[in-house]
Structure 1
Amino acid sequence: MSTFACSPILTPPPIAPDGAPIANDGWFPDVDIGDLRKARRIATEMPAERLRDAVREAIIWTNDQLEDWRADQAAASFAEVPSSTIDGLSRNVVLYQLAVGACAKALLIERQRDVDTTGAGQRKVDDLGDSIGELRRDALQAVRRILGRTRTSVELL
């Protein structure tokens, strides 16, 4: 008796495009998911829906941090707030994109942690924890630079 076995051809599903930029509230700048993915080196295997969710949450966090500052601005939009320009973009827009990107990547890493309990798996989780802290620091420092505050807060105990 003979058997014939044919293994299926396994091709990964096509990667969904990142889609349209996320429209912000009209005052703060919109965020282009494709640009953010490239700038933050987010793997193309990351589903676009999951990335969009993280970026929306990062936008909310960043906008909340800047809400009081926004109330003090007379400009019609974030890009029109007086600041120097870098590569044709407002310094504030560059810092805003940095804050949103760093916060979004931190959220993605937090949600994608390995659940491996071996020694190597634990070291990998520890490494991710460090990068999460660094990304959150970068986001907070970018917001503080927009606000014109120092990057260090010191409190006497």
Structure 2
Amino acid sequence: MSNRGFGVRLFEMQPDGTLEPFLGVDEDYFAGAVPNVGDTFAKWGLNDVYTFFSVQRRLFIDSPNADNGWCVIVRSIESAPQLETVVNAWAEDTKFWADVDEHERVEKGERLAESLRKLTTKKKPAPNPPATPKAKKTLKKMLKPRPAKKPGDNQT
């Protein structure tokens, strides 16, 4: 297993004292903090049932094969009302924030759609403002037909 990115390996201590590989992950799995002695690890299972483990020992293994990492020994423990309360509160909080994220995603999508609609809708040109009396007079002069030239007028 040299250099496979498993910086933390959890082994479950069996009733007969043997160790069974349980989980191999990198340090980021635990948000950068390796479980320590006395910590409780709640492992989610099917049908939202958690299994609880107590950390018994933590060792850093230095390996000549560049397979260095943390070995965490855990022991299965019985569920207790306090542990169940904690994982249920965690699940409710997670659902709450997922709902908030979804609501914000929908609102953002609606705002983007509205902006896109505004950008792609052709605007009608603004009507010309009413002309002032002076402007009307000037326009009238400009549009006034000129008298036709008579034959023999000076044509240049």
TM-score, with structure 1 as normaliser: 0.20
Greater relative contact order structure (CA < 8 Å, 6+ sep): 1
TM-score, with structure 2 as normaliser: 0.20
User: Comparing both structures, which one devotes a greater share of its residues to helix?
Assistant: 1
